[in-house]
Structure 1
């Protein structure tokens, strides 16, 4: 490393590139852009080895390091982040960027050993259905310790930033609202026609949902609503499960007929699906600021989103939302012409531009380094 450059380590994520997850997509879009504009920083992503097989040691100017980690939903975040904090200190990092409130429980330790810490709050993870009482307590603790101990805090939605400022008034001055972005995805070399053929699909003849098979995504009631709707289209769910669970097995058991599960797909394949779907549906009970919806909207897909606040933070029209968890209303809306749910792709790009987001994030890094 050039002695004139400061090392900036990033932890709390599974890894990049091509690793499934909202935080991972966020970092894959953000960090290479920051690297282009930040000659003073050497950026190093500290990923979790079980998710990073075959990943190279550099991605568009960002160093990639895979560190030991268990692949167990209740332990991997805390253990991998502990390893990441120690590694960052050993590497002489000046700034450590911790993503998500679970890993943020290590913020006091990171400060204790001399690191300048930026924490990104991606959403209220303690609202996720998969967590028990103790895990939710730990996540709330991570939020509190992250807010109080980080030098700067980034919130990915305006409602989240406002809530944090109200709940932690003594920390309000260090909270910055910097959203997720609406990226321009690249085309797959196979072409859309071949991708659709692979899954037995025709353009504008299917409804699309994208995400991990976890309860808060609401795919179970989406499938119920789809069957109630009587639509002649197919339902495609692109995604998979990081960890085996009864919920994931339930979703996978629904495959067949007009319900198609594609498994996790690379983003060029997702682009072909977004551009050719008749309707994109996000039925989530919990989100941060939904990157899949931003991707779908940027690709021009008509959209139906549950009316949770993070989805409303996208600022779409009233017709684009339905009551979260209400399969009957969702079924009714899925039976209507998709033109009723059109969105303005250009507006989403202008309001959620990754290049601007990278500049705002770089400004936060520079603030934290000077504190």
Structure 2
């Protein structure tokens, strides 16, 4: 049995965050198609009982850390790698994110075949300054230099690494996240709509973590310029270590601007499938899972014009310049959003499943 250890997620399933979603979707699929691998996912949320020590055939190993932004993930990664060396002895160590990627040299020193998934250029987020930013910059460098393979979740990330770190370009591969939600047997949860006073097709939806790079403040500013809006604005997500930004953001809550917090499962699918328009105002992404989820729901979509968003094959009309609140306002004022739908984009996303993603990871692991 080939052992694989995975580091980077707080916990799975049903925890907010891109890496958490990827791990919750990818590894169960991978376990199903590659039973020759035994997976241990290191987590930093203490389990309440024995039932939380496994998930979909995966072992979840809790490793304590400190709940301090900037140190939480760093120390957890270090402790996890050391624990793996002492007690598990895996063949493959898979680190998710350029923060954990800082420890790629240690992983190799311990004799592990080392994979780092590059999810985003995290040090460009405004919250990172000084030592934290320098650590992430070095984490990206270490990943590119020392990892056996660097998995880029979008072609935009790979092309960026090819330019900035060309010496190790043969190690970089693109494996796009799956991101599709299954709507084939979906039945609406009336509870989520009733709770927040929503009607089918009468609201605009934004989904994602409440942080500055997602630019929800720009979305709200544009929406508030409309005196008599035809649609409510629903924002689905919570903040992590962004207390002041979240406080400032949620101060705008009103009858028409509704914050629904973190949602998942049938409640999240219900929000997607019944929205008049999904809008994403983010200034930076690696691979945007919420866009792929909205595409799988087949709803109209409007996005900022950034390279990762261009990979979803949406038509030109679906894009607007990042930071342009006037362009956002123009979109929000429309009565009919049908021009923001694309059958080609829907079909492209339909083919990009988590099973496809898992098959590519299986090939990668066997190659190592």
**TM-score bracket for this pair, using the shorter chain length:** over 0.9
TM-score, normalised relative to structure 2:
0.94
CA distance in 2 between partners of 1:160 and 1:351 (Å)? 21
Gaps of at least 5 residues in structure 1 are: none
Q: Say if 2:229 is the partner of 1:237.
A: no
Given that 1:229 and 1:332 are in contact with CA atoms closer than 8 Å, whether structure 2 keeps it comes out as no
Q: CA deviation at 1:228?
A: 1.9
How far does residue 190 in structure 1 lie from its aligned partner after superposition?
Answer: 8.1
Distance in 2, matches of 1:65 and 1:26, equals 17
Mapped partners of 1:331, 1:137: distance in 2? 37
Contact 2:2 2:38 in 1 (8 A): yes
Q: Select which of 288, 295, 298 maps to 1:297.
A: 295
Please identify runs of 4+ aligned residues in structure 1 that moved more than 6 A. Answer: 186-190
CA distance in 1, matches of 2:212, 2:185: 30
Contact 2:73 2:99 in 1 (8 A): yes
Question: Secondary structure at the residue paired with 1:305?
Answer: strand
**Can you list the C-alpha shifts for 1:276-330, whole angstroms capped at 9, x where unaligned?**
0000111001111100010011011211111111112222111111100111111
Query: In the alignment, what sits opposite 2:97?
Result: 100
Structure 2: which 5+ runs fail to align? none
Which residue in the other structure is 2:137 paired with?
140
Task: Work out whether residues 206 and 279 of structure 1, in 8 Å CA contact, stay in contact via their aligned partners in 2.
Answer: yes
> 1:109 aligns to what?
106
Q: Is the 8 A contact 1:107 1:117 kept in 2?
A: yes
Q: CA RMSD in A?
A: 1.8
What does residue 2 of structure 2 align with? 6
- Give the C-alpha shift of residue 249 in structure 1: 0.8
CA 209–47 in structure 1, closer or farther in 2 if over 3 Å, else same: same
Q: Is the 8 A contact 1:187 1:269 kept in 2?
A: no
Q: Distance in 2 between matches of 1:286 and 1:334?
A: 21
1:48, 1:351 → 2: CA distance? 33
1:15 equivalent in structure 2: 11
Mean Cα displacement is larger for which, 131-140 or 16-25? 131-140
Shift of 1:115: 1.3
How many angstroms does 1:223 deviate by?
0.5
Matched, 1:343 2:342: yes
Superposition pairs for residues 310-349 of structure 1, below 5 Å? 310-336=308-334, 337-344=336-343, 346-349=346-349
- Count, aligned residues: 363
| Alpha-carbon separation, structure 2, partners of 1:66 and 1:228 | 47
TM-aligned CA distance change 1:346 to 1:282, over 3 Å: closer
Cα distance between partner residues in 2 of 1:317 and 1:189: 27
> Distance between the aligned counterparts of 2:190 and 2:45, measured in 1?
35
Could you list the per-position Cα deviations for residues 180-228 of structure 1 after superposition, in whole angstroms to 9, with x for gaps in the alignment? Answer: 1132336999833332111110001000011111101111111011122
Correspondence for 1:58: 54
Partner Cα separation in structure 2 for residue 136 and residue 267 of structure 1: 34
Within 1, Cα distance between the matches of 2:27 and 2:236? 25
